[in-house]
Amino acid sequence: MEHLPWLDWCRQWSLWDQEWYSIVFSDGSRFCSGMHDGRARVRRRRGERRNPQFFVERHVHHTVGVMVWGAIAYGSRSPLIFIRGNMNAQHNARPHVARVTIDFFQHNDVTLLPWPPRFPDLSPIEHVWDMMGRRLLNLQRPPQTLEALREELVVAWNEIPQEDIDHLIRSMPRRVGECVAHQGASTHY
């Protein structure tokens, strides 16, 4: 069964509750100044995957874009870090597990929570990136320069209430429980 590693992971951590409060969730994301960065995003209900009415044709144009990295935890967050060039994520997929990253974690006595490759992303930081993206889309005038985009991203990152981040982390038992209930298949998160 394709979802078995994900289901096994969710079952392994399904009894955690307040233990999630000691986990740091980190990830990177790309943000662009315009309305569209060339990637397709589709929001639909369960069972509507191939419904043609949900396919949207977009005109792609060049926009200013930047890669960022951040980390959230219960009661705190990192500064927003801007990445030059491409960023390799730490998702335990072979291309992402760089020796230098592993060495850093070992040297600094950081214990990693095992995360299956190609796992449906239950990480609450994905919702933080979504909040920031929506804030950018709601600006009267999108940033036209790289510096303006960076400034808006820092404001967006810092203005997310810590209570909202804490709420996302408190939702981890529900996220993991839904993954188990769906036999490792995708969840509404």
**Least confident piece of the model among 5-14, 18-27, 79-88, 178-187:** 79-88
| Dist CA 69 CA 55 (whole Å) | 30
Q: What is the model's pTM?
A: 0.76
pLDDT value of residue 45: 63
Please provide residue 108's backbone torsions phi and psi, each rounded to the nearest 5 degrees.
-100, 15
- Residue 153, both tokens: 């991203």
- Mean pLDDT in residue range 175-185: 87
Return the CATH number of the domain spanning residue range 4-83+111-181.
3.30.420.10
How is the chain split into domains, by residue range? 4-83+111-181
Predicted confidence band of residue 102 (pLDDT cuts 50, 70, 90): confident
Tell which residue, 73, 69, 78, has the closest CA to residue 30: 69
Does residue 40 contact residue 72 with C-beta atoms inside 8 Å?
no
Does residue 82 contact residue 140 with C-beta atoms inside 8 Å?
no
Rg of the Cα atoms in the chain: 18
* Of 163 and 54, the one with more pLDDT: 163
Tell which residue, 122, 172, 180, 139, has the closest CA to residue 34: 139
